[in-house]
Chain A
Amino acid sequence: MNRIFNYSASVLGLLGLALGGCQPNIDAPAASAGTATFTTYLAVGNSLTSGYSDGGLYREGQLNSYPNILSQQFAAVGGGAFTQPLFTEAQANGTGYLRLTGFANGAPVTAAVTSNLAVRGLSAANGQVLYTKFTDPVNNLGVPGIRLADIQTVGYGSVAGNAYFERITPDASASQTYFQRMQATVAALKPTFFTEWLGNNDVLGYATGGGGSPSPTATITRTDTFTLKLNRVLNVLTSGGAKGVVATIPDVTGIPFFTTVGPSARAALAAASIPTAAPFVYTTGLLAPGQANTRVTGTLADIRVSGTGTLLLTLTAAPYVSLYGRPTGKYWRDYYQQLRPSLPATVPTFGVFLAAMQIDTTKAFGMSTGNPFPSVLVLDGTEQTAVANATTAFNNAIVAATTARSLALFDANTYFRGVAINGQASNAVSNSASYVSGNLFGLDGVHPTPRGYALIANEILRSINATYGSSFNGVNANDYRGVSFPQ
């Protein structure tokens, strides 16, 4: 009986193993192009298109740019080479960027990466840092900082212009505008597909400067200018019959740059038993000598936290909020250093600067009208309205221009609003718009992480699939990192 049992068991076991070797297979649907052609892809845009992250442009960010991720998907349906102006391995850290070095009392501590940079010198024209040139033809024309208002500015690619555009501008055509570069690229590459995501900086600079920065790029572009330039760009991109995706501009007030410091400052002040009824004094309007420097006196309760209050504090306010109530001139000294190259001869010293700004550093910072919190670190209700109105006007122009050309639309505004409220899960991982911990935004609080760019690429692919009947799967966003913590 035992023998029979053993025999049968081994026969059955073998049978099971033989059959068990049959691995079921799932025939995954192959990617298809639908009605668009993805042979040659051109990306036009700003920092978001370049892969900028953590306050800098560097090789890892470039490799994880959403256009690069898209091009890898397009390769499955015949997409060709996609050339980006990559920094070399030896200069992989590019312009330098912020990295997370650790935590002090639970707060993230960042430091600038200063090794393996691609810095080639300082501009004789204005002292700005210049980067190692990359003058080969590129498919990714993402230029950090560029506004639609800038695209036809002559000299934008010179050593006095935008250092990122200067980097990719060939010496032979040094005076070429961004628009001309785009025309030349379209003529040479004959792209069959494009993505266009310009216009963010036409409102972002104003917002990140708290609506008070005197910098010439910290203004809101006129809507008619915006619309005109947008249509010129799209006319060029579609001139050869190319199809493409156009992205709207996200409302920037939901990004960690504006949502992090206010709530943490409120929590710290509450922990220090400072009542929310304590005065909060800040300036409004342009913050520069000769400006009105109007002061507004409110209370700490005006700083927005979870739906109450209106004032948004910028991420750049982080080093200064803890000085609230102290007699200090730290902020003003830092601001003086920052403005110094552009200050008139009538403001030769810090003392004269303070006098011109009507600041008394012996008064309690942020608490006294004599030493107010600076407007460049505060986006108040009026300024938020200006940002919202501009964003809406620009997006209306974008939607109209896109619809008129029957192009696909990636509604980044709707998408980011959803992310700011609900976060976005990727394969059982929760991602949110929280600073550092949310996985989606890098250390500058404005630009996405590789994870964020991967999710953007997936959303763009959804738009493409919906409009052109193509079928792209996208990528597993979890294969792309969020903010990287030291072990």
Chain B
Amino acid sequence: MMLKTLLLAGGALMGCAATAAASGFQVNLGGQQNIGMGGVGVGLSLDQAAMFYNPGALAMVRANGVQVGANFALARGAYTSASGGPQRDLQHLLVTPFNLYAAFGKEGKYKFGVGVYTPYGSQLRYADNWEGRYSLTEINLQSVYVQPTFSYAFSPQFSVGVGVTMLAYGSVNLQKDIPLPTGPAHITLDGTTKFQVGVNAGLYFKPSDKLSLGISYRSKIDAQVKGGNVNYAGLPTGASAATINRSFTATNFDATLPLPATASVGVGIMPTEKLTIGFDASLVFWSAYRTLDFNFSGNNGNAGTPTDASNGLVGGSSTSTSKRFYQDALAFRVGGQYKATDQLILRLGSAYDFAAVKDGYVTPETPDADRYIATAGLTYQPNPHLGIDASFQFERFAKRSQSQAELLNNGTTDRVAGTYRTDIFIPGIGVRYSF
């Protein structure tokens, strides 16, 4: 019942996705207070968002409560081709990762809770007719995890927590142009993922009032699309139709995208009552992402009476594979908060995320690069029960270039040579009510 209500509430915010805000297409936007502090949280027990950062810390969160938050990510991207031409700017999209948490229990002893959040996602739309149009024109990748969580404190110093992560909703929409001798056509792959479960678990240790430590691990979930839709536009209709369209018979596709495991450790330091400082290090196991494979099926009759040989063709082949060969990616985060008054808390933070994508493997769908992140935030608490949190995160991607020679060497000529640069601006707002 609880889960259903939360899903419905989450549904109100859905149709929204996230621009990747950590390495690869991971999104590290779990809670507004944490975001304001550079995204730290594994070694802290700030609020119910502990379910995301470290389920082990949930039992130590002071009050019962519900909280909801959303971010408004504005990505500004630029690309210039290695073969010259004008700078191509990403089209402006607003994407809104969100989260929702509710937890109840006995303070300092145990807590039950459920969280809804969007840990992976990406939405990018490239400029019309850009050089990489035959690799990608548009991507929209969404995921919503629902995580029932239980956390138990063995002592005032030590607690553990386990959540069952459920890929409750996931969708992928990939579009690109097809280079045909009759002129460019367009293909859209669109599908939703199967329900999958994983685990998010953590330990939290607070040896003194001034120090806390945490460790957490969130397992990999494979986002599997079965029977997604394949749609074409702009295939020829006249003299060349029979010759060309026979290679485009597929109506459905299967694909699997790994949503990789993440291991994190964190430290919290509270030198005074008013000041909290956190450090996190996390490792995302992106090396699980080796290739992006599509298997095509179905037959739209473009090759005449369907036969085994003519089933499920896109560009004359019933499969496609594209190298990713991601590498495990580290991130380091630091942030702090200062309780200026009983009503006002101020935050600052910073982080550095290493790229998951290796040189010469950058694809338009994830123009990944090492990222510098700066954040700020504040909380306004009109009364002890209510907190309004605002955050702002800025990410600057290091300029990333790859040459056609690198693509040739790596066998990755299904993407384009050139230079990418991206900045992301992410304001966020949340509200907490505790009782």
> A-side interface residues toward B, CB under 8 Å?
1, 4-5, 8-9, 12-13, 15-17, 19-20, 22-26, 28, 101-103, 106, 425-430, 436-437, 439, 458, 473-478, 481-487
Q: Is the pair A427, B429 in contact by a Cβ cutoff of 8 Å?
A: no
Known: A1-B431, A427-B132. A12 touches B179 (CB 8 A): no
Q: Which residues on the B side are within 8 Å of A474 (C-beta)?
A: 83-84
Nearest A residue to B316 via CB reads A437
Q: Is the pair A12, B428 in contact by a Cβ cutoff of 8 Å?
A: yes
User: Shortest beta-carbon distance, A164 to chain B, in Å?
Assistant: 28
Q: How far is the CA of A8 from the CA of B238 in the complex (A)?
A: 57
User: Shortest beta-carbon distance, B103 to chain A, in Å?
Assistant: 20
The 3 A-B pairs at the shortest CB distance, nearest first, are namely: A473-B84, A20-B74, A425-B413
Q: Which residues on the A side are within 8 Å of B237 (C-beta)?
A: 487
Q: Which residues on the B side are within 8 Å of A19 (C-beta)?
A: 74, 394, 425
Chain B 220-232 interface mask (CB, 8 Å, partner A; 1/0):
0000000000000
Q: Is the pair B131, A478 in contact by a Cβ cutoff of 8 Å?
A: yes
Q: Is the pair A12, B423 in contact by a Cβ cutoff of 8 Å?
A: no
User: Shortest beta-carbon distance, B33 to chain A, in Å?
Assistant: 14
Q: How far is the CA of A430 from the CA of B247 in the complex (A)?
A: 15
Q: Is the pair B76, A473 in contact by a Cβ cutoff of 8 Å?
A: no
> B-side interface residues toward A, CB under 8 Å?
72, 74, 76-85, 87, 89, 92, 131-132, 134-135, 179-183, 236-240, 242-244, 380, 382, 386, 388, 390, 392, 394, 399, 404, 407-408, 413-417, 419, 421-423, 425-429, 431
Q: Is the pair A20, B239 in contact by a Cβ cutoff of 8 Å?
A: no
Nearest A residue to B405 via CB reads A462
User: Shortest beta-carbon distance, B295 to chain A, in Å?
Assistant: 20
Nearest B residue to A106 via CB reads B243
- A sample of 19 more A-B contacts (CB under 8 A), given A1-B431, A16-B72, A485-B240, is A1-B382, A5-B388, A5-B431, A12-B429, A16-B392, A17-B74, A20-B76, A22-B425, A25-B78, A26-B419, A103-B243, A427-B83, A427-B131, A428-B135, A430-B413, A474-B83, A474-B84, A485-B243, A486-B240
Q: Is the pair A428, B399 in contact by a Cβ cutoff of 8 Å?
A: no
Nearest B residue to A429 via CB reads B179
Q: Is the pair B239, A476 in contact by a Cβ cutoff of 8 Å?
A: no
Q: How far is the CA of A436 from the CA of B89 in the complex (A)?
A: 34
- Counting chain B CB atoms within 10 Å of each CB, the highest count among A5, A106, A487 belongs to A487
Total A-B Cβ pairs within 8 A: 144
Q: Which residues on the A side are within 8 Å of B427 (C-beta)?
A: 12-13, 15-16
Q: Is the pair A478, B134 in contact by a Cβ cutoff of 8 Å?
A: yes
Q: Is the pair A20, B388 in contact by a Cβ cutoff of 8 Å?
A: no
Q: How far is the CA of A439 from the CA of B244 in the complex (A)?
A: 14
User: Shortest beta-carbon distance, A450 to chain B, in Å?
Assistant: 12
User: Shortest beta-carbon distance, B303 to chain A, in Å?
Assistant: 11
Q: Which residues on the B side are within 8 Å of A5 (C-beta)?
A: 388, 429, 431
Q: Which residues on the A side are within 8 Å of B413 (C-beta)?
A: 425, 428, 430
Q: Is the pair B423, A22 in contact by a Cβ cutoff of 8 Å?
A: yes
Q: How far is the CA of A487 from the CA of B242 in the complex (A)?
A: 11
6 residue pairs bridging A and B, Cβ less than 8 Å apart: A13-B427, A19-B394, A20-B425, A26-B421, A425-B413, A473-B82
Known: A12-B392, A474-B83. A23 touches B179 (CB 8 A): no
Q: Which residues on the B side are within 8 Å of A476 (C-beta)?
A: 81, 83-85, 131
Known: A8-B429, A12-B428, A427-B132. A478 touches B179 (CB 8 A): yes
Q: Which residues on the B side are within 8 Å of A4 (C-beta)?
A: 380, 382, 388
Q: How far is the CA of A282 from the CA of B131 in the complex (A)?
A: 49
Q: Which residues on the A side are within 8 Å of B134 (C-beta)?
A: 427-429, 478
Q: Which residues on the B side are within 8 Å of A1 (C-beta)?
A: 382, 386, 388, 431
